[in-house]
DNA sequence: GCCAACGTTGGC
DNA sequence: GCCAACGTTGGC
């Protein structure tokens, strides 16, 4: 079953243009250290799932493009790297704690900003728009996906 | 830089 | 298991 997601990234770290410059326009989604977000990747994401590529913590937060899951969850390489800020001493290759999927950018879109998303009555229930939302990976309702892709990004 | 909101940690 | 303290997120 194809699911729909919104995945946040900080463009100062890995933005959509960075991913477009990578081989196959694909990036491993390293660095998730929240159990709920990890569980979404580990338990629910499958190849072919659709993704809103979202820029957060930046001058223009919003949806920057469309992407898809191209590889199922596997151990996040950064958890084993002592030089990484994402190093986790409690994790080991035998018993890894953190995983990531691979994500391929399908299309860069116009920057669909937060204010414009908030202005849509059809999107009032979107997880990303709820007060205090901090989760970096959230499920997107199929109707919300359709509305955004067909009405706002056409 | 501020700060509200939320997640995690650790003493008890 | 509770919950206060602390750390992080992320829009503004």
User: Does domain A4-145 fall into CATH 3.50.50.60?
Assistant: no
Q: Which residue is nearest to nucleotide B8 (CA to C1')?
A: A34
Does strand B come within 7 Å of the CB of A90? no
- Strand B nucleotides, any atom under 7 Å from protein beta carbons: they are 4-8
Per domain, the residue ranges of chain A are: 4-145
pLDDT tens string, chain A, 154 residues long: the values are 899 999 999 999 999 999 999 999 999 999 999 999 999 999 999 999 999 999 999 999 999 999 999 999 999 999 999 889 999 988 888 889 999 999 999 999 999 999 999 999 999 999 999 999 999 999 999 999 999 999 999 8
Q: What distance in Å separates the CA atoms of residue A103 and residue A66, rounded to the nearest whole number?
A: 10
**DSSP code at position A151:** I
Distance A134 CA to C8 C1' (A): 10
The upper half-sphere exposure of residue A21, i.e. CA atoms within 13 Å in the direction of its Cβ, equals 5
Distance A116 CA to C6 C1' (A): 35
Give CA separation, A5 vs A61, A90, A95, A96, in Å: 17, 29, 27, 24
Distance A132 CA to C12 C1' (A): 14
């Amino acid at each position: 079953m194809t699911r729909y997601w919104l995945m946040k990234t900080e463009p100062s770290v890995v933005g959509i243009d960075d991913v477009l410059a990578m081989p196959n326009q694909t990036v491993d989604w390293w660095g998730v250290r929240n159990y709920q977000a990890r569980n979404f990747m580990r338990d629910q994401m499958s190849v072919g799932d659709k993704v809103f590529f979202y820029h957060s913590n930046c001058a223009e937060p919003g949806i920057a493009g469309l992407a898809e899951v191209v590889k199922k969850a596997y151990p996040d390489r950064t958890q084993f790297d002592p030089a990484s800020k994402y190093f986790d001493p409690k994790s080991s290759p035998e018993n890894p704690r953190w995983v990531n999927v691979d994500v391929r950018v399908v299309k860069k879109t116009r920057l669909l900003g937060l204010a414009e998303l908030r202005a849509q009555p059809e999107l009032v229930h979107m997880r990303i728009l709820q007060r205090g939302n901090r989760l970096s990976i959230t499920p997107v309702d199929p109707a919300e996906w359709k509305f955004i892709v067909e009405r706002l990004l056409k």
